[in-house]
Amino acid sequence: MHTPRLRCLPLVFAALPLACTSGGSDDGGLTTFTPMETTGDMSTSGDGDGDPTTGDGDGDPTTGGGECGDGVVQMGEQCDLGPDNSDSGQCTSSCMIASCGDGLVYEGFEDCDDGNQVNTDACVTGCKLNVCGDGFVHDGVELCDDGNDDETDECTSDCTPSSCGDGVIQGAEQCDDGNDDTSDDCPACQLAFCGDGYVQAGVEICDDGNLDTNDACISPMCIPAECGDGYVWEGMEECDDANVEPGDACTDACTVAFCGDGVTHDGVEECDDGNDVDDDFCTNECISLLWWVEGVQHDIDEDMLGGWEECWTSTYNTSGHNLDTILNQDCTGERLLFACRPINTQVYDVVAMGMRDDVTFDTGDGNVTHDANGVSWYYNDSHSMGFAGLGDPVTRSSCDTNNTNPEDRICWHTGSGNINGGWRCGQQTGLNSGSTWERKIFTAN
């Protein structure tokens, strides 16, 4: 008869009490473990190792509890490598299998382990050190972290937010020159242009942030508005015809010309004396009445020469002005007026007028004068021409050097049918080389 053999298999983990049972003839003599049913009044005693004695279940009669580090995996332990247990190894000193998040750094596998799942500190998911570019923002160290090294997005490769002036073109930036200077060609990280609100040094004089041409800063040149630039400055100018000519429809003050503004509108007005006196040389309809007076006149504003047309002018230092051309082609009116003054002034120092025949009456080269309209005239096309106060003597050599009432005198040298240089304008004498004094002839009918 085959006698069944009792076989027991050692177990490392035991969650329930086990017992050995005899196998039947159909199990090949292999005895299996089955859990023992226990009750509160169970009378069976033993330690589960197959003998009647009590102990610790390891086959010897000794009673004792196992501990972590004894090399045996006990209840509540995940591992036990005995003396090889290590907080930096596979099996920790508490007999637990090393894992990320246990607070212990498993050498060769973990960079760090701070025992938490927070990804904003120095140790992040996967027990990796928090570094720029890992996609986790390290509080107090990084301002951003988008997990890439793309310099053109919102977070740079050094984990700082991209910004205008960092030298890298990002997002809506058109340029980035690495500075915050708004006077160069890349203000606020946009290409500079007239109307951006930033004055570009060396290029623009002004920039008011718009493209208007009717305000104080003209686009697209970014130059200050001024009368004569061709743009009507709203609220400041009535007109602007791109010039500063006073005699057209838009005056040199950028006001619309009208009768009475004091500026003669060429081709429209005969005169404009800027007043509403109707019986002076310029009527209230800006119709010219010839200004005609007797005697030598002083300090006469050019605006008073109503009805007179300037037909010749030169400075005192020039010569060779043909008298035939002047008198018979340019100054053809029945009346002539001589005047002189310093250049760049509006007021004539000395003025006298008369009928053409009286003014050009040939008195030869002596000291004889021809009296007319309250003035003593003299004229010769090869000696001198001019006038003195009525009845005053002249000393022509060749021009008049007499100083009786000198303020009443004009004298110009003539020769070979030409007006030549100098010589006097009232009390100012010796003007043969005077480039700062001018002389004029006017004509009228």
First to last CA, the chain: 171
218: enclosing H helix or E strand? strand 217-218
- Region 312-326: mean pLDDT is 97
Whole-angstrom CA distances from 196 to 179, 186, 217 are 17, 11, 12
- Percentage of residues in the chain having pLDDT higher than 90: 73
Residue 48, number of CB atoms within 10 A of its CB: 18
CA gap 369, 357 in Å, rounded: 13
Contacts (Cβ under 8 Å, ≥6 apart) of 371: 377, 390, 391
pLDDT band at 271 (very low <50, low <70, confident <90, very high): confident
Q: Is residue 20's pLDDT more than 80?
A: no
- The token pair that represents 70 in the structure block: 């004894």
- The token pair that represents 221 in the structure block: 């040149």
- The token pair that represents 56 in the structure block: 């610790």
pLDDT score, position 111: 96
CA gap 160, 136 in Å, rounded: 13
CA dihedral 206, 207, 213, 219 (to 10 degrees): 90
3-state helix, strand, coil in the chain (%, to 5): 5, 20, 75
Domain boundaries, the chain: 164-224, 310-444
> 3-class SS at 342?
strand
CA gap 118, 136 in Å, rounded: 10
The residue to which tokens 């997990």 are assigned: 147
Whole-angstrom CA distances from 223 to 183, 186, 201, 215, 425 are 15, 20, 12, 11, 45
Q: 340, 350 in Cβ contact below 8 A?
A: yes
Closest among 266, 264, 284 to 275, alpha carbons compared: 284
Q: Is residue 37's pLDDT more than 80?
A: no
- Region 313-324: mean pLDDT is 97
DSSP string computed for 237-279 = -S---SS--TTSSB-TTS-B--TTSSS--TTT-S---SS--TT
CA gap 401, 419 in Å, rounded: 18
DSSP string computed for 50-87 = SSSS-SSSSSSS------TTSSS--TT-S---GGG--T
- Region 149-169: mean pLDDT is 89
pLDDT score, position 80: 94
Q: Is residue 2's pLDDT more than 90?
A: no
